[in-house]
Structure 1
Amino acid sequence: MPPKADINKAGWEQSEFPILCETCLGANPFVRMSKQEFGRSCGTCARPFTVFRWNPGSGARYKATVICQTCAKVKNVCQTCLLDLEYGLPTQVRDTALAVQSEAPTSDINREYYAQNMESKMGDGTTSMMQVGSRASSAGKEMLKQLARTNPYYKRNRPHICSFFVKGECKRGDECPYRHEKPVENELSHQNIQDRYHGRNDPVARKIMATHADTQGLKPPEDQSITSIFLSSLPASATEATVRTHVVNSLPQVPSSQLKSVVHVTKSRCAFINFKDRFSAERAAEAWANGLDIDGERIIVKWGRSRNTNATKATGASSSTSVAVPMAVDT
């Protein structure tokens, strides 16, 4: 317990061993770590914590913890790579599949206070915000099982690219501990620790979910005017209100204000979910790649399809006019 004279250290973390995934820990069973109390501030809550540094194996770069254990426990992630400890996936993928809404504040003023409250709750045995297995849908669990990385991916521990080699000035040759490769400039090159932890605007997560949606037959159509998702095989008890409720609850990453309308066809037991923009529709398709559970039944999800309204030709209107009214589904 810190001395009373230094009240600022009351919320600082002291730990004996880090919370790590198998990949970051490395294949070497005899890992030697250095420990530095209050070595740096947490990358999410900004509180000082105990920093661990180690080499995960031969030819790998030295790694270190970047967030405190409280933040790692709240999200159930590794202190170094910030990936989920159970599935090895980014938090945005996991939270989207399990329909988890992050309640953590993102402002600098409130995040330290939130971390302290979560630490006291978990210390009292209160349920963590990530213990949502009983509430998760079967479609979301199935999605995570398909995407989960079951084996360690030690390639992630490779050394960084040599900046001198990029400039053509490295003279160490084969003795250089860094990689002599040209960096690839794409969206994956720009990642933010806050976005990765809170599961928002994560380019790695977007790539994983978009690829999975393509394999499940939900590749976005080329027509950018299509912003509708088609749901079929709805339960006989489904109504427009129940469908809307399930849609909103299963899309915590998409604001409810982006939902334009829900058109429920009772006779055909289907519904059209219309969004205000293409971005929201694509996020919905990715979240429902394995289907959508409504009243215990798995609902088939497809993209809507627009049609050209040639009927206006008879009324003297232009025949090239088109509307983005979903009348059928892509097969």
Structure 2
Amino acid sequence: MPPKRDLNKVGTEQSDFPILCETCLGENPYVRMSKQEYGKECKICVRPFTVFRWNPGSGARFKKTEICTTCAKIKNVCQTCLLDLEYGLPTQVRDAALGRINTAPTSDINKQFYTQVMEQQMANTSSGMMADTHDAQLASSAAKEMLKEMARKDPHYKRNRPHICSFFLKGDCKRGNECPFRHEIPAENGLEKQNLQDRYYGRNDPVAKKILRDNAESKGLTPPEDKSVTTLIFLTLPVCGEPDVRSSLMSACPFIQAKQIKTITTVAASHCAFVIFQDRATAERVADSLTAQGGIEVLGKRGKVVWGRPRPAKKAITASATATAVSA
């Protein structure tokens, strides 16, 4: 057995096979791949890694791996599309449902050291996938079922289509039908600008936001238009106190800190609790996570989560009362 390498001297990665989802691999069962060692830098840990390139099928564009196998194993994602291998969903959706915390550093040097440490840990485990073990420990059955409902059942080979021709958009493409790119006007739906690092780390991913928004609307948890509303209401709770609700909330959403929760008020007669957060962004993130988990579990009973209502403006109340008095 060769001796372990010094973490401070490891700056590259080699691999024999890529980690790909069924969609990126393509519908053709016979795929020929080209392999180039140290072909490019990983888009996440910026280490040179082995790049694989292939054609997933007839009429599709050539695809290649974008991140190294170590980064893919850490998050359990495809090396090309960076979607979760089990559910085919963005990591932001999966992490919201499973209540996972992003502990990866942001600076390039720290990211390299973090990746190398995780690589050593995976070498000492039997599974090799860090995210699978973590999910098995944290995920509830309700969260897993919710992810299965949101997941696409069949491969989405439409993602392998050629890119849109930039010359066609400018009205200057002279290839016509021989152009290998698509001649169509892109739909402006807010999903055009996607960043690989945002998708990998699960932050500001427009596709994930759309999935979470559609799921919230289907569950009747559409965020109110009034941005001043930062209150979530937990319904159908058992007889409990403020510490029980706080403990369950921190356990279901470990990404929030205690100081981000402004107040928690329980109403025993109505079996509900009012949770006010310091800012709207935190409230929306908690709402997305709890919706993906199918509610919040307090003392063994699962409760429903809804948004609070905006308070009516005092001036409007005064004006309404004055108009009523004058008319009388």
Same fold (TM over 0.5): yes
| Pair 49,202 (structure 1): closer, same or farther in 2 beyond 3 Å | same
Q: Quick one: distance in 1 between partners of 2:161 and 2:316?
A: 61
- Matched residue, 2:149: 146
Q: Quick one: distance in 1 between partners of 2:75 and 2:266?
A: 36
- Matched residue, 2:173: 170
- Matched residue, 1:65: 65
CA shift, 1:254, in A, is: 4.5
CA shift, 1:104, in A, is: 1.1
Q: Which moved more, 1:266-275 or 1:49-58?
A: 266-275
Corresponding position: 1:302 with 2:306: yes
Corresponding position: 1:277 with 2:279: yes
Q: Secondary structure at the match of 1:308?
A: coil
- After superposition, what is the alpha-carbon deviation per residue over 1:173-211, rounded to whole angstroms, capped at 9, x for unaligned? 111110011234453111111111011111110110011
Contact persistence 1:291–1:298 (CA under 8 A): yes
Contact persistence 1:97–1:140 (CA under 8 A): yes
| Pair 21,63 (structure 1): closer, same or farther in 2 beyond 3 Å | same
- Matched residue, 2:209: 206
Contact persistence 1:74–1:130 (CA under 8 A): no
Q: Secondary structure at the match of 1:284?
A: helix
Q: Which moved more, 1:102-111 or 1:122-131?
A: 122-131
CA shift, 1:91, in A, is: 0.4
Q: Quick one: distance in 2 between partners of 1:267 and 1:77?
A: 46
Q: What is the aligned-residue identity percentage?
A: 58
- After superposition, what is the alpha-carbon deviation per residue over 1:242-278, rounded to whole angstroms, capped at 9, x for unaligned? 2112222322454544322111123332101112233
- Matched residue, 1:326: none
Question: Which ranges of structure 2 fall in alignment gaps of 5 or more residues?
Answer: 322-328
Contact persistence 2:223–2:284 (CA under 8 A): yes
Q: Quick one: distance in 2 between partners of 1:262 and 1:233?
A: 16
Q: Paired residues, what number?
A: 314
| Pair 170,310 (structure 1): closer, same or farther in 2 beyond 3 Å | closer
CA shift, 1:126, in A, is: 7.0
Contact persistence 2:70–2:115 (CA under 8 A): yes
- Matched residue, 1:239: 241
CA shift, 1:49, in A, is: 0.7
Corresponding position: 1:30 with 2:34: no
How is 1:1-331 mapped onto 2 (pairs within 5 angstroms)?
10-125=10-125, 128-131=130-133, 132-236=135-239, 238-289=240-291, 290-308=294-312, 318-319=318-319
Q: Quick one: distance in 2 between partners of 1:260 and 1:41?
A: 44
- After superposition, what is the alpha-carbon deviation per residue over 1:205-252, rounded to whole angstroms, capped at 9, x for unaligned? 01100110000111122333322111112122x321121122223224
| Pair 126,118 (structure 1): closer, same or farther in 2 beyond 3 Å | farther
Q: Quick one: distance in 2 between partners of 1:43 and 1:310?
A: 52
Q: Which moved more, 1:205-214 or 1:225-234?
A: 225-234
Q: Specify which structure has the higher proportion of helix.
A: 2
Q: Quick one: distance in 1 between partners of 2:186 and 2:86?
A: 31
Q: Secondary structure at the match of 1:109?
A: helix
What letter matches 1:283 in structure 2?
Answer: R
Q: Quick one: distance in 2 between partners of 1:320 and 1:244?
A: 39
Q: Secondary structure at the match of 1:299?
A: strand
Q: Which moved more, 1:246-255 or 1:108-117?
A: 246-255
Q: TM-score by structure 1 length?
A: 0.87
What letter matches 2:64 in structure 1?
Answer: A
Q: Quick one: distance in 2 between partners of 1:311 and 1:53?
A: 64
- After superposition, what is the alpha-carbon deviation per residue over 1:134-187, rounded to whole angstroms, capped at 9, x for unaligned? 321333222211111221000000100101111111111111110011234453
- Select the structure with the greater relative contact order (CA < 8 A; seq sep ≥ 6): 2
Q: Quick one: distance in 1 between partners of 2:259 and 2:59?
A: 50
Q: Secondary structure at the match of 1:81?
A: coil
CA shift, 1:294, in A, is: 2.1
Q: Quick one: distance in 1 between partners of 2:136 and 2:165?
A: 43
Contact persistence 2:76–2:131 (CA under 8 A): no
| Pair 261,126 (structure 1): closer, same or farther in 2 beyond 3 Å | farther
